[in-house]
Structure 1
């Protein structure tokens, strides 16, 4: 038998009105979806530090691009970095293995495409890829991400430069990948020349224009930008958006992609 005092305490607790129970954390009404494409990776450690400090989860779209240090962004030198991001709960998806730009549709059944990669053995050369070859290019990056992170990438991809066609998108969906672009206000501008678009201008514009539901785009290092974007803009942007009531989520939680992701889940 429980002592009478303990029985009375338990009964009183059971009869507490619901208003006195701990309140559940309210769902954020203003989510945004920060995404990073690979790049020269020099700022990747800084990006990781900011995301960890701010407790923000993002989605990384990865290709095996040339890097300032190491053997490519999906090479063995960077594998520990990717593994650590997986352990922190970030999401991953393909950016095509050799960062292959779509150039034109060439027709046919099944279709083929004129492409030009900016990485790999055929870097800078224009050639023809069949739909099956393009699918293999997406899958190659996804498979490598699975290898270096230890988690299954999302069944999503981002075409380099966001350059696509209806035929290319249909081919990719046919082999299990839906395309993800970005919102106009979500183009954070780290690819733009710093001589014309200062970091202060890019930060001001983003904080002014970003809206709930936007997919945001930045990179893990842009070769051409002289005034590096991330050290000056990334953390103030995150803090400024939080102050405006925004929260951050990965594309796993995006309502426009959840159904597709669930439909591609393997048992």
Structure 2
């Protein structure tokens, strides 16, 4: 081979290397999926959560109830319309958390359910609802969300406190809503007292235990936790999970998401 030929081969080889995808790209491929979900709460961390997700280009799923906020209003008031419209534009998913944050307390006779709303006109009362009444409470969020954003909820819901039964799940399905809870490793711990469990401990547990397919739960603000979870933990959680080659998706991509008829 002539010197000129050798030089040409070297140039071709370099060009091939330069055009090939870097080794890191192959190594950074997704090795699993985590579904980040957020329930409404005091809304004290709502803007921070939204900004963090946007910065990392992560899509999440929000479960909405009409809860009292630190601004002195309610999370589904018209004053929150711009916030929810912006999240719709960013491509997040949305489900019902029951309008008045209604806790399921047990099954009653004749196919009814025992419930206790946390907010609304019947807050704190122990009530007996038919499955149709329970279904209507789930759907109330969709009605308000359409008014605020012009968009329907996704056909999913989450029971406050995760309290469910076969009867309550069936009530939701009767009006077109699939229930989604969360994985044991997916509980952020943001409802625990920060004096008892630090943010550093909660972050370490999440990064160590979350696995492919897990649904993660946090809130958009918890009244009782003195050292809020999101400012300290959300950013490093996302970074840490990405470093473990875990990717993020909304519950629209979950295998249990209702299929279109």
Same fold (TM over 0.5): yes
Query: 2:220 corresponds to which residue?
Result: 220
Q: 3-state SS of the aligned residue for 2:227?
A: coil
Instruction: Determine if contact 1:162/1:181 at 8 Å carries over to the other structure.
Output: yes
Q: Does 1:104 align with 2:102?
A: no
Shift of residue 197 of structure 1? Answer: 0.8
Query: 1:204 corresponds to which residue?
Result: 204
Tell me, in whole angstroms, the C-alpha distance in 2 between the residues paired with 1:238 and 1:210.
12
Query: 2:157 corresponds to which residue?
Result: 157
Q: 3-state SS of the aligned residue for 1:35?
A: strand
Q: TM-score, normalised by structure 2?
A: 0.88
Tell me, in whole angstroms, the C-alpha distance in 1 between the residues paired with 2:152 and 2:30.
26
Query: 2:6 corresponds to which residue?
Result: none
Mapping 1:42-57, distance limit 5 Å: 42-57=44-59
Residues 188-232 of structure 1, C-alpha deviations (whole Å, 9 max, x = no match): 110111111100000000000000100000000011111111000
Q: 3-state SS of the aligned residue for 1:173?
A: helix
Query: 1:187 corresponds to which residue?
Result: 187
Distance 1:21 1:255, change over 3 A: farther
Mapping 1:13-92, distance limit 5 Å: 28-92=30-94
Q: 3-state SS of the aligned residue for 1:255?
A: coil
Shift of residue 255 of structure 1? Answer: 1.5
Q: Does 1:252 align with 2:246?
A: no
Instruction: Determine if contact 1:138/1:157 at 8 Å carries over to the other structure.
Output: yes
Q: Which runs of 5+ in 2 are unaligned?
A: 1-18
Shift of residue 21 of structure 1? Answer: 10
Distance 1:93 1:237, change over 3 A: same
Q: Does 1:114 align with 2:97?
A: no
Alpha carbon RMSD of aligned pairs, Å?
1.9
Instruction: Determine if contact 1:86/1:150 at 8 Å carries over to the other structure.
Output: no
Instruction: Determine if contact 1:70/1:77 at 8 Å carries over to the other structure.
Output: no
Tell me, in whole angstroms, the C-alpha distance in 1 between the residues paired with 2:146 and 2:242.
31
Question: For this pair of structures, how many residues does the alignment match?
Answer: 240
Tell me, in whole angstroms, the C-alpha distance in 1 between the residues paired with 2:212 and 2:228.
27
Distance 1:29 1:107, change over 3 A: farther
Instruction: Determine if contact 2:29/2:245 at 8 Å carries over to the other structure.
Output: no
Query: 2:16 corresponds to which residue?
Result: none
Tell me, in whole angstroms, the C-alpha distance in 2 between the residues paired with 1:78 and 1:28.
35
Q: TM-score, normalised by structure 1?
A: 0.86
Which 4+ stretches in 1 moved above 4 angstroms?
A: 24-27
